[in-house]
Structure 1
Amino acid sequence: MAAIWYLYCSLIFSMLYFFTKRFSKKIENLPPRPFPCLPVIGHLHLLKQPIFKTLSEIAKKHGDLLLLQYGSRPVLLVSSPAAAEECFTTNDVACANRPRFLMTKHFAINNTSLAWAPYGDHWRNLRRLVSLELLSSGRLQLLQWIRVNEVKSMVSSLIKRQNRPLDMRVVFFELTLNVMMMMIAGKRYVGDNITDAKEAKKFREIHGETFKIGGTMAIVDYIPWIKSWKLEKQMIELQKERDAFMQNLIEERRRKMKSNRRDGESWKTLIDVILILQETDPEYYSDAMIRSLILVLILAGTDTTINTMEWSLSLLLNHPEVLKKVQMEIDNQIGENKRLLEESDLPKLPFLRSIILESNRMYPPLPLLVPHETSKDCIIGGFRVPSGTMISTNAWAIQNDPNTWEDPRSFKPERHKSSVGFPELGGRDGFKLMPFGSGRRGCPGEALAVRTVGLALGTLIQCFDWSRVGEEMVDMTEAIAFSLQKGEPLQAKCKPRAIMAKFLSQEKLFSITDIY
């Protein structure tokens, strides 16, 4: 009898709780919330890998603006261009904060790095530094020779390995890491002409471990009373290694700057630029701030760029007719067997740009953009979004929505013929396409990524004929990671194109010892 009475009371309590929540939600005018939202865990039980696809299916059922509950954290799920536009235009300031995570506590100096700092004076100073001093158009132009030389080095390496299976993720990793480290510290860490192989190996280990640990979804971020001691210990130890490594780079550049001033060396690394600022304001431009900024540039400038190139070439190998068409565009623009593609050619190659855009549309580098957080109550989609709500924008869902894009899972670069997609030349189809985010927290490295990907991919297309390793189509399955990687690294074969063979046979042109 007691058991029946207990069951009866539980049922009444559950019904009262349900109707009270439903009634209060209408009064508060909150966005729709999928049912059921369970005690303690909220909607975490709905999240299945890959999460961006699961969230896309949830949005199809319940709407493109939803209020989810990840444990103790409210999350606004944005899955349409209209909702994204409201977040990043009308409510851009209110939505400009970042949520705090265990990872950002240890890897982002307690949420003070450029990527994770709350919106305010400190963040604005960092953003201004990056936009005006480190990644401005003038600075990128001054350091263009680094990208050119590293692409030449990549071409030289591929000539030696022609007609053999290549792990293209490794090729793109080496290219991108060398570009970033040459710009930042004046050092190459993979391939030939490495000054310190031991240091280079250590850096690659730290880089890989950062993505492995940093991409972990820590349950403590959503259910705070569940502690992740082991994960936090790993983060603390890794951050010590990262700090020590970066501090060595800073000290090395300090010594070289003194020598360069005596010897009259003209070009400056990005560390040099900040160290010069440190001389005038040492308290603000501390070594800790420099270490943090260096790491943000390295992490943001490598993985997503690698992914874009790997997805783009994979799509081209599965669509050889598109590969032939873009080769013809490059040949017509540059001429056969005359010179290598240059960054100044990119604005004149609309089909190449369309291929990169279509790759970014189908496989956005960050399928769930870096999350935002509201700093005050705001109205989005006619609903009240409370202060402290995390905003999760599903770029993959927006960019693969059949209501927005015709036949979205088909590779059709020609659909972008009216959208330039390069920051120097125009927009990106409104909020239907956001590979670099949007608003004031959009990626400041967009121009660098565009130049690197365009130059590297265009040169590979110009110089080589590409083929799959086997008869099967390239597997386009996604990996489970923070960024959108291929599940299986791309394997491909290349051989110099007949019209480029004479030009590519000039060994001195591609000799790494002559390049540096």
Structure 2
Amino acid sequence: MTESVVRENQLIKRTLDDLPQPKGWPLLGNFLQLQSKKLHQVLEQWCLEYGNTYKIDIAGLLFVVIADPVVVKDILRRRPKSFNRTASLERVFKELGIHGVLSSNGESWKRQRRLIMPAFSKKSLASFFPLLEQTTERLRLRLVKKKGQDTLSIHDDLRRFTVDITTSLVFGHDTRLLEHDGDGLQKHLEVIFPQLNSRTRMPFPYWKYIKFKKDRKLDQALIEVEKYALKIVEQTRDELQFNPQLADAPETILQAMVAASDDNNRLTNEELFANILTLLLAGEDTTSNLIAWMLYFISQRPDIQCKINEEAEQIRLKHKGQINVQGLDELTYLEAVARETLRLKSTAPMISAETVDQVTLLDGTELPAGTGLFLMTRLGGLNPEHFKDAEQFRPERWQEEAVAAEACPHKATSHFPFGGGARHCPGETLAFMETKMVIAMLCQQFDISQPKSPPVVEEYAITMRPKNLQICLRLKTVGK
């Protein structure tokens, strides 16, 4: 239910001054309350206390938090014309030399997005499927070797899987992290994302004047990733020179970006590096977190594991003993498990944005140009007005029969795990492909459970990950 205030069928207009605000500290405002890895939960809790639209003060900078799904959807739809990425995000990414499609606005964003999108088409991803199969098999072999361990912090293995997938798709370069235990690229990426998140929330860029250990680690991580990226760029230039046909039919995202040769599209080395890093970060973190959260849920539900495996076995029998590209689309129950996971544990529970010009939101709130926004993209999915038994993990609610029969209310548009509008996440289809392959393999190969360990909690660093997740994998007996 929208919070819009209506009197005689007219919205009551309100301004920033009219919005409620959580009590903060002199000068600092709400800054100290928001320096937490549970930032999204703090903002969600305040939504319950102050309503679907309220303001926060971060050391003198005012931001508006919006949770009404109708209003959030409208804002996402109106990007990038009326709403942009925040200036703080753009500033931090520019300072670090990684200003790519994720942080860009306007014509720069359109130009870079246009070059990236073809690689995420269904046709392109179908041709990429054999490598997805190979990488899933590598993950299986890696986990089988660990079968004697009582507990497993599987998140590291999942990150290696997603980095191998992403580097192959983006660069045509297989890092093969699943086949060795070296840190390398993966560890550098793990440093970068949390620090980006922290800096975008800082009202004062202290790192320009004094650098702490975490800042020096960030600088070093960026240097190492840039070395790796530019080496791959040079290899790609050589490939295009040796095989000019690739310019017309590029096989990787990087080939498409390097091959763009007209003046309007040419990307600088800085833009190439920025987009390489953006795609690495997005591909590594979001999908590995989705798979990890799915394991968190199904490790507590042997019945769901059985249903996943039974469905996958039917698909294998139908397609000559294996799951092919068409078979992935037919894993409807497994997709329901993924969508239910995203409803409860969205990897992107909030999105930041900024008004381009003065705007009036659908709930009547008038905002000046340059107002920073936090859009709460998960909260609507937790609302019992939108989903029956909203607190329960029930994948069946996403299957057509359930939606038509007894699962009402069922408002799929109440939450936005992949964003929306023109800036909708281009990697959604790939994320589901990776997730289905991994979970189907795990449920076929192992009985999955959780050991006695510290409670799993949500941790936010641009994406939301499960902290303390431990898994027990018991190899299934032949014929089970």
TM-score, structure 2 normalization? 0.84
1:229 match: secondary structure: coil
Q: 1:353, 1:454 within 8 Å by CA — same for their partners in 2?
A: yes
Q: What is the CA distance between 1:302 and its match in structure 2?
A: 0.9
In 2, the alpha carbon distance for the partners of 1:159 and 1:395 equals: 37
1:512 aligns with none
Match of 1:105 in 2: 94
Matched, 1:139 2:124: yes
Pick from 390, 393, 400: which aligns with 2:382?
A: 400
After TM superposition, the structure 1 = structure 2 runs for residues 75-94 of structure 1, keeping only pairs within 5 Å, are 75-89=63-77, 93-94=81-82
Summarize deviations over 1:156-199 as a string: whole Å, max 9, x none.
333444454433212211211111111223333344678xx9xx
Partner of 1:479 in structure 2? Answer: 459
Cα 1:334–1:244, aligned 2, differ >3 Å: closer, same or farther? closer
1:157 aligns with 2:142: yes
The answer to whether the Cα contact below 8 Å between 2:72 and 2:377 also exists between their aligned partners in 1 is no
Matched letter for residue 348 of structure 1 = E
Q: Which moved more, 1:293-302 or 1:158-167?
A: 158-167
Q: Which residue of 1 aligns with 2:162?
A: 176
Contact 1:357 1:416 in 2 (8 A): yes
**How far 1:481 sits from its partner (Å)?**
3.2
Tell me if the contact between 1:131 and 1:444 (Cα under 8 Å) persists in the aligned partners: yes
Match of 2:234 in 1: 251
- Structure 2 gap ranges (5+): 1-11, 404-409
Give 1:401 shift.
2.5
**Aligned residue runs from structure 1 range 227-376, under 5 A:** 229-230=210-211, 235-259=218-242, 268-278=251-261, 280-281=262-263, 284-335=266-317, 339-369=321-351, 371-376=352-357
- Secondary structure at the aligned position of 1:437 is classed as coil
User: What is the CA–CA distance in structure 1 between the aligned matches of 2:176 and 2:293, rounded to whole Å?
Assistant: 22
Match of 2:475 in 1: 495
Q: By how many angstroms is 1:374 displaced?
A: 0.6
Q: Tell me, in whole angstroms, the C-alpha distance in 2 between the residues paired with 1:417 and 1:99.
A: 41
1:43 aligns with 2:30: yes
Q: Measure how far apart 1:382 and its partner are.
A: 0.7
Aligned partners of 2:101 and 2:275 also within 8 Å: yes
**Distance change >3 Å, CA 253–CA 138, structure 1 → 2:** same
C-alpha distance in structure 2 between counterparts of 1:262 and 1:377, whole Å:
48
What is the aligned partner in structure 2 of residue 9 from structure 1? none
Whole-angstrom CA distance in 2 between matches of 1:282 and 1:93: 20
Provide the C-alpha distance between the structure 2 equivalents of 1:125 and 1:259, rounded to a whole number of angstroms: 26
CA offsets 1:62-90 (integer angstroms, 9 cap, x no match): 11111222223221111221221232236
1:152/1:400 CA distance change after superposition, 3 Å: same
Name the amino acid aligned to 1:451. Answer: M
| Counterpart secondary structure, 1:498 | coil
SS at 2:466's partner residue?
coil
Which residues of 2 match residues 1-150 of structure 1 at below 5 A? Answer: 28=15, 30=17, 32-36=19-23, 38-47=25-34, 49=36, 50-89=38-77, 93-101=81-89, 103-107=92-96, 109=98, 112-118=99-105, 120-132=106-118, 134-150=119-135
> Number of matched residues?
455
What CA distance in whole angstroms lies between the structure 2 residues aligned with 1:416 and 1:311? 17
| 1:447 aligned partner | 429
User: CA 1:74 to 1:89, structure 2 compared with 1: closer, same or farther past 3 Å?
Assistant: same
Return the offset for 1:223.
4.3
Q: How much does 1:358 deviate?
A: 0.8
Structure 2: distance between partners of 1:469 and 1:319: 10
Whole-angstrom distance in 1 between the partners of 2:319 and 2:359: 58
2: CA distance, partners of 1:303 / 1:27: 38
* Aligned-partner SS, 1:467: strand
Task: Give 1:493 shift.
Answer: 0.9
Once residues 112 and 46 of structure 2 are traced to their aligned partners in structure 1, the CA distance between those partners, rounded to angstroms, is 37
Instruction: Work out the CA distance in 2 between the residues paired with 1:91 and 1:177.
Output: 29
Deviation string, structure 1 residues 334-369 (Cα, Å, up to 9, x no partner): 339952322311222221111000111111112222
- Once residues 28 and 282 of structure 1 are traced to their aligned partners in structure 2, the CA distance between those partners, rounded to angstroms, is 40
Q: Name the CA distance, whole Å, in 1 between partners of 2:205 and 2:18.
A: 25
1:255 and 1:217 map into 2 onto residues whose CA distance is: 37
* 2:13–2:364 CA contact under 8 A, matched in 1: no
Percentage identity across paired residues of the two chains: 17
Check 1:273–1:181 CA distance in 2 against 1; reply closer, same or farther (3 A cut): same
* Inter-CA distance 366–497: structure 2 relative to 1 (3 Å threshold): farther
Q: Is the 8 A contact 2:348 2:462 kept in 1?
A: yes
Closer/same/farther in 2, CA of residues 192 and 209 from structure 1, 3 Å limit: closer
Q: Distance in 2 between matches of 1:262 and 1:385?
A: 50
Following superposition, the deviation at residue 464 of structure 1 comes to 1.5
For the Cα contact (< 8 Å) 1:365–1:484, is it kept in 2? yes
Letter in 1 for 2:335: R
Q: Measure, in 2, the Cα distance between the counterparts of 1:248 and 1:420.
A: 51
From 195, 198, 203, give the equivalent of 1:222: 203
* CA distance in structure 2 between the aligned counterparts of 1:432 and 1:79, rounded to whole angstroms: 10
Q: CA deviation at 1:307?
A: 0.6
Which amino acid in structure 2 is aligned with residue 146 of structure 1? L
* Structure 1 residues 39 and 411: alpha-carbon distance in aligned structure 2, compared to 1, 3 A threshold: same
**Offset from partner CA, 1:354-402 (integer Å, 9 cap, x none):** 1000111111112222x11111111111110121111111223222223
1:507 aligned partner: none
Instruction: Return 309-318 or 478-487, whichever deviates more.
Output: 478-487
**Partner amino acid for 1:144?**
F
State which structure, 1 or 2, has the greater radius of gyration over its C-alpha atoms. Answer: 1
The 3-state SS of whatever aligns with 1:113 is coil
Counterpart of 2:8 in structure 1 is none
Q: Secondary structure at the match of 1:167?
A: coil
> Which residue number in structure 2 is paired with residue 19 of structure 1?
none
| Residue pair 2:128, 2:169 contacting (<8 A) in 1 also | yes
> Alignment partner for residue 358 of structure 2, among 371, 377, 393?
377
